[in-house]
Amino acid sequence: MRDDPAAVSVSARPAPITIDRNRSAVIVVDMQNDFGSKGGMFERAGIDIAPIIRAVGPTAKVLAAAREAGMPVVYLQMQHRADLADMGAADSPHRQRHARLSVGEKMIAPDGRESRILIAGEWGTQIVDALAPQPKDIVVPKHRFSGFFETELNTILQGLDAKFLIFTGCTTSICVESTIRDAMFRDYHCVLLEDCTAEPIGNGNSRSNHDASLLTIEVLLGWVSDSKTFVDAVAG
């Protein structure tokens, strides 16, 4: 692939990785209002969303560079049905843990509309305005942490002939890492851009869950780089 004009070397940990622009896709994990906007589910639950907000700017630059290079952009969108039937049984861990975040409850969105928390078609599940999908982008709804669980993601990526996945989004140790794990099990080469992801869990500790996930990914699951390195590599 070194003689291929589509080959791009990206500096990363634990080592540089050469990706094929023609077989690469950028994955945007759950960068939606309920997680990354004021008035969304996280902020209403008292969770600090500042790190997620900080990831928006670098992510926007990555998406612009990817689109310019002809790389597909795939959004994952966490959401549940209005009847909550896809949350699992009443005693399922997924439903129990999300009940703490008031999933399904009515609220007034910042734009004044009545909405429901983490429900398909509502304000909270819309992608944040600064990262709004473009006409050629692909949006994949999901109802569990991993973007591969009971979704069309793998079929879509196979249709794109994708081998290299560039990851952005939130949160690092939950939906991002869960999706990367499942992608690695399917033999995709995963590169996480560390300034394009964020994690509220353990954020006040000396080593956060964000840090732990970065270490796990670079050691076992894939590669870790950053937005500037990726943008410069693709532009070059």
* 14-44: pLDDT as tens digits: 999 999 999 999 999 999 999 999 999 999 9
Phi, psi of 69 (to 5 degrees): -85, 0
pLDDT at 37: 98
Q: Quote the percentage of the chain above a pLDDT of 70.
A: 99
Mean pLDDT, residues 159-175? 98
d(CA 39, CA 129): 14
d(CA 21, CA 191): 13
Residue 180 in this model has a pLDDT that exceeds 60: yes
* 112-159: pLDDT as tens digits: 999 999 999 999 999 999 999 999 999 999 999 999 999 999 999 999
d(CA 97, CA 4): 48
* 48-74: pLDDT as tens digits: 999 999 999 999 999 999 999 999 999
Residues with Cβ < 8 Å from 147, sequence gap 6 or more? 27, 29, 76, 140, 153, 175, 178, 179, 182
Model confidence, pTM: 0.96
Residues with Cβ < 8 Å from 4, sequence gap 6 or more? 20
For strands 24-29 and 73-78, give the pairing.
parallel
Q: What residue ranges do the domains of the chain occupy?
A: 7-81+125-235
Give the number of other CB atoms < 10 A from CB of residue 84: 17
Assess if CATH 2.170.120.12 describes domain 7-81+125-235.
no
d(CA 183, CA 158): 12
Residue 200 in this model has a pLDDT that exceeds 70: yes
- Per residue in 189-205, is it b (16+ CB within 10 Å) or e — as a string? bbbbbbbbbbbbbeeee
Average pLDDT across the chain, whole number: 96
pLDDT at 29: 98
Question: Is the backbone peptide bond immediately before 141 cis, with ω within 30 degrees of 0?
Answer: no
Of 60-69, 111-120, 164-173, 203-212, the one with minimum mean pLDDT is: 203-212
Q: Quote the percentage of the chain above a pLDDT of 90.
A: 92
Residues with Cβ < 8 Å from 99, sequence gap 6 or more? none
d(CA 188, CA 165): 7
C-alpha pair distances (Å), 15 with each of 8, 63, 185, 191, 199: 14, 23, 20, 11, 24
pLDDT at 1: 46
Residue 94 in this model has a pLDDT that exceeds 50: yes
Residue 2 in this model has a pLDDT that exceeds 90: no
* Residues with a known catalytic role: 30, 142, 175
Cβ(67)–Cβ(73) under 8 Å?
Answer: yes
pLDDT at 3: 64
pLDDT at 5: 79
Mean pLDDT, residues 8-15? 98
